[in-house]
Structure 1
Amino acid sequence: MARHRGANTLLRDNTPFPTRQMAILALCRICEPIAFMSIFPYVYYMVGDFGIAHDEAQISVYAGMVTSAFAFAECASGVFWGRLSDRVGRKKVLLGGLFGTGLSMLLFGFAQNLPMALVARALGGLLNGNIGVLQTTVAELVTVEKHQPRAYSIMPFIWCLGTIIGASLGGILARPAISFPDTFAGTLFETYPYLLPNLVCAAVVIFGLTVGILFLEETHEDKKFEKDRGLEIGQWLLRKVWSKGTYTALTDKDASIDEMQAMLEGPGSPTYQSTSSSPTLCSSRSSIAEPPPFTLEKGSESSTVRSAFTKQVCLNIVGVGLLAFHTISLEQLIPILMSHPESTKKPELPFKFEGGFGFSTQKIGSILAVQGVLQMIAQVVVFPWVNKRIGSLRTFWITIATYPFLYVMAPYLALLPKPLRIPGIFVLLVWKVTAQSMSYPSLNMMLANAAPSKKVLGTLNGAAASSASVCRGFGPTIAGAVDSIGAGMGVSGLAWWVCAGVAATAWIPGAFMKEERRRPGFCNVDDVDDEELGLREALDDTDSDVDSIMTLTPEEDTVNSVLSK
């Protein structure tokens, strides 16, 4: 028993972080926020150019419809793409989502009326289920729990970076015949004033698609050993670039334990054939020692998928939806607060007051850019540090406990004296980005660990993505309507306080959540009980090659024996 504890410690300590595959995944991921956020700086003007709105209020309504079309369509297809990734693999679905994003951007750039713009955005949502599939891929790449905080902070960081780049591209490149008449006047871009930013975004998507085809590895445990022509071409290109003496077929710098095992077992083993950089500790050996506790057999797939939605999984999906609703509403309410003119009426505290900061669009843009930088810092520095010390569940509890107070206090910033408004906004943004940077990754990690098996993880992440998408579709619409009602009543904080109520309801599912450890099917060596270790010990006698590389010295065996007692 002690011997296997030492062996598991050796496995854990020698499992590398899948740096290169995470980097490749990040290059594929950054294309989507760039494309998604590029429309926001000009969608208001685009709808105005359609000539269907009679006043500014109608323009805002139609612009909201355009931005919500993507979320609603994504909700309708999220579960489908998640389940498809469980069948055909993650890589194919991810690359298909990128292709759908590029096609959507091209159609949107040529849109000259509202129906075409809505169809283009909806098509992008229907063809792209990458949010859930990406979370699944990260969960399969990172097989050791100590690596999870670092891994789950990377994709939100990439999203923040992409939103900054996308918003900048959309603002600079839209209507180029007006902004740069010497270059673009009389060209195609004068007829289609919003085509240029979409062409640039489509080019970025093509780049991400190419990187994915050539270098992204499959992580689905049943599909990762299949022949991948794109990956073979990518490795051929790498051999041409680097000399034979410096190129290695391993995609991470340090070989993981299962790769060393494969070298000893020889080319006949499935592990030897894998080129995966993810340290899949349950390759050929664990398929004997640890049969998956959760399988998808023919004829019983539907019942198996239904049973995958355990209590903890459902609580996580509900939590994702509630979090998405009030955080996307917050994204809309902050610019409204900053753009509303200052009130000349005397406030009737505590609730009846009006007005905002009266900031210019340029100032609002600068503040939102600073917000993106703050969020990247919080995502990479604050979240891993906090999560490592208190765990995912406590991190999530802290954030959902503070959200309602954030919403209650925010509208009162308009009552601050002018010298204190910028510091007040800064405090609000730091609070906001810190809470978002800790809440979403914590939920994603808990959902991955609560999944009964990797075989249904794509389906579960697809359901969570659909829950988030439908709430993101309704959030801005409801928040905008409530804000209009509040403005008519002279209560500018009404929408904020409604969001505070929604955020408080997230306490209910949060109170019943539990932080589960990764199941044996995920091959996590950190949490294996004594019975499982005993089973491994009995079966490992037949595996002499692997056993030989894990043999402990007498000193290690003595120390582990004492610790086990």
Structure 2
Amino acid sequence: MAPNRGASALLKGKDAFPTRQMAILAICRICEPIAFMSIFPYAYFMIEKFGVASSPAQISMYVGMVTSAFAFAEGISGAFWGRLSDRVGRKKVLLGGLFGTGLSMLLLGFAQNFQMALLARALGGLLNGNIGVLQTTVAELVTVEKHQPRAYSIMPFVWCLGTIIGSSLGGLLADPASHFSLFKGTVFETYPYLLPNVMCTGVVAIGLTVGLLFLEETHEEKKFDQDRGLEMGQWILNKVWRGQTDYTPLSDKDGSLDERNPMLDDHRSPNYQSTTSSPTLCSSRSSLAEPPPFSLDAVREPAPTLREAFTPQVCLNIAGYGILAFHTISLEQLLPILMSREEAPGNQQLPFKFIGGFHFSSETIGIILAVQGALQMFAQLVIFPWISNRLGSLRTFWLTIASYPFLYLVAPYLALLPPHLRIPGIVMLLLWKVTAQSLSYPSLAIMLANAAPSKKVLGTLNGAAASSASICRGFGPTVSGALDTVGSGMGVSGLAWWTCAGIAAIGWIPGCFMMEERKRPGFRGVEEDEEVGLGGPLADSDSDSGSVITLTPEETGQAVLSKQDI
């Protein structure tokens, strides 16, 4: 008997990449790096205008406090927001985080003293737990193993793009009254840093609106709840494209959010009707909040406890996040210092006691950092998926953490190169840096998602990982900056770099004990795509209910769903 083509099409559609929802998620994601990075071009001048510092050295210290306040506050609240997303759903927490980001940007724009600026940045971190929740949403959207590298490369790419846009907005729009007569005598002269923050808040508002109207819930239980925002978004689309009258979710028909058979969710497939020969499947639901009567969610196991959720593999992954975040954020601070520092004098005491830098101008440094952003976007979209598909997430991660210490050991010696080799030297360093970063973070994210004992605690685990990374990002610039100051006083400009090499080498310890969990609950691998015959499994087994859906033929050529309890 010929295989059922409708079932084949459904299973094929289920394996497609969820392009539309990933695009909507990317629009929500790009708002945050734009808002976060816009402060960096004018932070020094803002602190100087506050008059809180008595010397240029103190200005740098206060700038570090303002920029680190966000990371510390985010580290404190990240686990809470992740846990909350496991209870109330991903979408509500994501939208709340965007709202908190916009509010903090407005407060920063109206800040006229250091305390207000510090409070605004800290508030932004406290109200924003979106890093971990976004990773959770991606993990729930992408349920086919072969799509993971592609999916997990998109969010870092969006972050890189947002940092470029945010830095440009902050540099161009700060203190507009000093550059454009149009703004003289306006509120933007009284509050010189309000304009870039208003623009960034506008971008956040756009992302908040798009998310409210078009982002679908991915939580396995909350996605059945009625979503007024999504209904309003569909109504707007129906008005724009009048030919579309039925409710059609924005998730791709060939890339459903559901881990189970899409035929089971009748509110997502309104044209599907069970046959009359199966009266038990013919009952209808009164609302979207009521799961289908034959849904596999009818029998649910409770979420794992915190002790059960934080398995050894999960803990190793979270430790890896913290160590990686510490030395990579230190690298982001030390690299501009190396490029700015005066050239090395002639009397050096090699191999360890030497001091010097590239002595590049600020314009040259700006161009180099812009090139770095472009290189990282390319590495994120092209190099990472290619390598990860061939080596797997664990081997890709091993490759990067093995190379990091050598990068830090070599970097300070580049200042000793002759002038005609300095640009090639820094380009080599940047290529090494962006490739390592583009490979390491997405690999960790994939391994954490696959190591989760249940989808019900994905938000909690990603929130804990985000907290670990944020706290270490807060300490990294402070510690590396202090070590660089001490090393410069001793005539050893490589002290901070070599300390980072030692910390990166410590990252080998958890990495050596990590294992690649390729089958998280509800996850579908490539091998499950191969058989679509009648009477064979149509969808993967549901780990929560312990049931398998099978497809059996009827004389009419249609399919009837039957449930076999194991």
Superposition TM-score, scaled by structure 2 size = 0.87
Residues 526, 125 of structure 1: CA spacing in aligned structure 2 closer, same or farther, 3 A cutoff?
Answer: farther
Equivalent position SS for 1:224: helix
Residue 373 of structure 1 corresponds to which residue in structure 2?
A: 374
| Matched residue type, 1:108 | L
Worse-matched range after superposition: 387-396 or 248-257: 248-257
**Partners of 1:354 and 1:487 within 8 A in 2:** yes
Residue 117 of structure 2 corresponds to which residue in structure 1?
A: 117
Distance in 2 (CA, whole Å) between partners of 1:534 and 1:131 is: 28
**Would you say 1:396 and 2:403 are equivalent positions?**
no
Residue 265 of structure 1: CA displacement?
4.7
Residue 358 of structure 1: CA displacement?
1.1
Residue 223 of structure 2 corresponds to which residue in structure 1?
A: 224
Equivalent position SS for 1:39: coil
Distance in 1 (CA, whole Å) between partners of 2:203 and 2:185 is: 26
Distance in 1 (CA, whole Å) between partners of 2:339 and 2:284 is: 62
Residues 238, 59 of structure 1: CA spacing in aligned structure 2 closer, same or farther, 3 A cutoff?
Answer: same
Equivalent position SS for 2:107: helix
Residue 422 of structure 1 corresponds to which residue in structure 2?
A: 423
Q: Among the aligned pairs, what percent are the same residue?
A: 67
| Matched residue type, 2:177 | A
Structure 2: segments with no counterpart, 5+ residues: 275-281, 530-535, 561-566
Alignment of 1:335-354 (within 5 A): 335-354=336-355
Residues 13, 213 of structure 1: CA spacing in aligned structure 2 closer, same or farther, 3 A cutoff?
Answer: closer
Residue 561 of structure 1 corresponds to which residue in structure 2?
A: none
**Partners of 2:541 and 2:548 within 8 A in 1:** no
Q: What are the Cα deviations for residues 416-457 of structure 1, in whole angstroms up to 9, with x where unaligned?
A: 111111111111111100000000000000000000111100
Distance in 2 (CA, whole Å) between partners of 1:534 and 1:509 is: 31
Residue 211 of structure 1 corresponds to which residue in structure 2?
A: 210
Structure 1: segments with no counterpart, 5+ residues: 277-281, 552-565
Q: What are the Cα deviations for residues 121-149 of structure 1, in whole angstroms up to 9, with x where unaligned?
A: 00000000000000000000001111100
**Partners of 1:251 and 1:275 within 8 A in 2:** no
Residues 244, 275 of structure 1: CA spacing in aligned structure 2 closer, same or farther, 3 A cutoff?
Answer: farther
**Partners of 2:296 and 2:547 within 8 A in 1:** no
Residue 464 of structure 2 corresponds to which residue in structure 1?
A: 463
Residue 262 of structure 2 corresponds to which residue in structure 1?
A: 259
| Matched residue type, 1:225 | F
Residue 94 of structure 1 corresponds to which residue in structure 2?
A: 94
Residues 425, 525 of structure 1: CA spacing in aligned structure 2 closer, same or farther, 3 A cutoff?
Answer: closer
Cα RMSD, aligned residues only: 3.1
Residues 275, 198 of structure 1: CA spacing in aligned structure 2 closer, same or farther, 3 A cutoff?
Answer: farther
Distance in 1 (CA, whole Å) between partners of 2:311 and 2:174 is: 47
Residue 355 of structure 1: CA displacement?
1.2
Q: What are the Cα deviations for residues 223-255 of structure 1, in whole angstroms up to 9, with x where unaligned?
A: 001111110000000011113159871424544
**Partners of 1:249 and 1:275 within 8 A in 2:** no
* Greater fraction of residues in helix: 1
**Partners of 1:82 and 1:461 within 8 A in 2:** yes
Alignment of 1:166-565 (within 5 A): 166-180=166-180, 182-244=181-243, 249-255=248-254, 258-261=261-264, 262=266, 263=269, 264-265=272-273, 285-287=295-297, 295-296=302-303, 304-522=305-523, 526=527, 540=549
Residues 130, 255 of structure 1: CA spacing in aligned structure 2 closer, same or farther, 3 A cutoff?
Answer: same
Distance in 2 (CA, whole Å) between partners of 1:374 and 1:271 is: 52
Q: What count of residue pairs does the alignment treat as equivalent?
A: 530
Q: What are the Cα deviations for residues 315-356 of structure 1, in whole angstroms up to 9, with x where unaligned?
A: 000000000000000000000001111132422111111111
Worse-matched range after superposition: 191-200 or 257-266: 257-266
Equivalent position SS for 1:41: coil
**Partners of 2:47 and 2:63 within 8 A in 1:** yes
Residue 540 of structure 1: CA displacement?
4.2
Residue 491 of structure 1: CA displacement?
0.6
Residue 72 of structure 2 corresponds to which residue in structure 1?
A: 72
**Partners of 2:541 and 2:549 within 8 A in 1:** no
Residue 172 of structure 1: CA displacement?
0.7
Residue 178 of structure 1: CA displacement?
1.4
Residues 275, 363 of structure 1: CA spacing in aligned structure 2 closer, same or farther, 3 A cutoff?
Answer: farther
Superposition TM-score, scaled by structure 1 size = 0.87
Residues 269, 387 of structure 1: CA spacing in aligned structure 2 closer, same or farther, 3 A cutoff?
Answer: farther
Worse-matched range after superposition: 257-266 or 358-367: 257-266
Residues 538, 183 of structure 1: CA spacing in aligned structure 2 closer, same or farther, 3 A cutoff?
Answer: closer
